[in-house]
Structure 1
């Protein structure tokens, strides 16, 4: 499970559940964590009281922060301060500290082996990757074939985006998810992050709001994604199961932005299931 800020009711509810958790720092809090004392206070309030019976696995210090964002300059010091606070609490083996990126930081993504961080992103991401290498933490990446497909329907087929394509394309890929993921792995290799593992911290398909956003397509995407990441086949670059988080549990009927943004949930806002998917 992933929560995007330290919701104490959610943390209480997770006690004893055995559910592994990605815990995000709220975007509004990032700049304050450049102060080491504030970072220690944050860990002492939201992490250490729960670690006995909540399985906090990752702390995400920034979700989809771009190099031009005001928060960008806060990310590295906040990462370092949270890491130091985690280590002081002797939790460094239990909890890894990282960030979550989106695909916009990748300057070139195709063919996947040519994946590279954009010139603008490189100076921002390089010291962060160095931090992840030194701490042994993974990089979290939000991977959405839907957005890539919508942005380039001339060259991307719906079957390729929905894991329905038969056979590999000319660069050895059968689905867009693997191609996107491997382009990030290729980009990591070019900045000294060959040993950094990627956790897919979001992936999903909207069921309404725009072209190709249908309940059937959403169900197909989630069903095939679950089967693929659990299969152990992995990507052409990295065989093995892919730790992946579905976005999202519930439709967000008050979310602003594109119409699709309200329709990524597996459940409706009234908690009824939108369609049946199976994790077994």
Structure 2
């Protein structure tokens, strides 16, 4: 083989390698995997479905052993959840250490656990709220004891109901009721270099305020700027909600924090504006949009997790049963590409 041919082959191989690296780095969309249904495929089938659709990130809500076993060697990045009902138990350091040993250390060499979500949407006034931070601290200490603190970040998932002000985005601020709960958590996240996980749903903002919010603004289909806020211009509600949360973090001492959108979705039936067309539009537009960031964080790809992988028939009747990207028979509901 001539030197020219060898050089050309090397350049082609290098180009393919770089292209593959760029694709992996650019991928910022995952999918939440809930199991609240009695007709869902096995965990092993689900992992194969993720891989077949080039979905490289997953969120699960509890340390289901069959899911963790199926994830071994898959290279899928994982948000591993702690159930709200388990928070109080994990305020005991020994229980937290056992939890980490059984659900993290036992799988850490074969499963790419990226974040641990200690609780999901715990309301500040709930009795469980007092347990969130101590559980986070104990999980963090257990990870440090296992030398995994640099590899896995500890956080909790909130929703936008913690905002007392959300409009305009630059005025975003946590409510007085939420501040006492979230401020110490923000300090923990800052000290440990962890992101804040946030569930962002333009759908709910829209249906609760239809007199002020246009459907196109909620669905990423507005033809032009809808909200001008100082130097920032907003063409969709998703960006406005994320940036409102960034503004609230800045006011609460969390200006260094990144936000990971740990859930976002649109129902296909069961309520106002819930249709296959609207949901398909929302998911497709969100996937393409997160690469570019929000006006406050322009050019910074948003790590986001679509909710959810399947329709879950054991959830409350109505929209809650219809957020799936796939039917329980593994058929896609929408023509969208995750890659």
Q: How high is the TM-score relative to the length of structure 1? A: 0.98
1:27: how far off?
A: 1.7
Moved over 6 A (4+): none
Give the number of aligned pairs. 277
How far apart, in 1, do the equivalents of 2:183 and 2:227 lie? 31
Which one of the candidate residues 157, 161, 164 is aligned to 2:218? 161
Q: What's the CA shift string for 1:243-280, capped at 9, x where partnerless?
A: 00000000011102x51000000011222211221123
How far apart, in 2, do the equivalents of 1:28 and 1:216 lie? 36
SS state of the match for residue 88, structure 2?
Answer: helix
How far apart, in 2, do the equivalents of 1:273 and 1:76 lie? 38
How far apart, in 1, do the equivalents of 2:242 and 2:77 lie? 22
How far apart, in 2, do the equivalents of 1:100 and 1:170 lie? 27
How far apart, in 2, do the equivalents of 1:212 and 1:190 lie? 34
**In the alignment, which residue of structure 2 is the partner of 1:28?**
85
Q: How high is the TM-score relative to the length of structure 2? A: 0.81
How far apart, in 2, do the equivalents of 1:26 and 1:165 lie? 37
Q: How does 1:120-135 map to 2 (within 5 A)?
A: 120-135=177-192
How far apart, in 2, do the equivalents of 1:70 and 1:43 lie? 24
Which one of the candidate residues 250, 253, 261 is aligned to 1:200? 261
SS state of the match for residue 101, structure 1?
Answer: strand
**In the alignment, which residue of structure 1 is the partner of 2:329?**
270
How far apart, in 2, do the equivalents of 1:66 and 1:210 lie? 24
**In the alignment, which residue of structure 2 is the partner of 1:253?**
313
**In the alignment, which residue of structure 1 is the partner of 2:23?**
none
- Bigger relative contact order, structure 1 or 2 (CA pairs below 8 A, ≥6 apart): 2
1:20: how far off?
A: 0.1
Indicate if the aligned counterparts of 1:200 and 1:242 stay in contact, CA closer than 8 A: yes
Q: Which consecutive unaligned segments of at least 5 residues does structure 2 have?
A: 1-57
Does residue 12 of structure 1 match 2:69? yes
1:58: how far off?
A: 0.2
**In the alignment, which residue of structure 2 is the partner of 1:69?**
126
Indicate the RMSD between aligned Cα atoms, in angstroms: 0.8
**In the alignment, which residue of structure 2 is the partner of 1:118?**
175
Indicate if the aligned counterparts of 2:219 and 2:236 stay in contact, CA closer than 8 A: yes
1:170: how far off?
A: 3.6
Which one of the candidate residues 260, 268, 273 is aligned to 1:212? 273
How far apart, in 1, do the equivalents of 2:107 and 2:269 lie? 37
Does residue 241 of structure 1 match 2:301? yes
How far apart, in 2, do the equivalents of 1:277 and 1:254 lie? 26
Q: How does 1:79-228 map to 2 (within 5 A)?
A: 79-171=136-228, 172-228=233-289
Indicate if the aligned counterparts of 2:227 and 2:235 stay in contact, CA closer than 8 A: no
Indicate if the aligned counterparts of 1:253 and 1:269 stay in contact, CA closer than 8 A: no
How far apart, in 2, do the equivalents of 1:227 and 1:206 lie? 19
**In the alignment, which residue of structure 1 is the partner of 2:103?**
46
Indicate if the aligned counterparts of 1:229 and 1:242 stay in contact, CA closer than 8 A: yes
Q: Which consecutive unaligned segments of at least 5 residues does structure 1 have?
A: none
How far apart, in 1, do the equivalents of 2:276 and 2:227 lie? 30
How far apart, in 2, do the equivalents of 1:268 and 1:27 lie? 27
How far apart, in 2, do the equivalents of 1:245 and 1:210 lie? 22
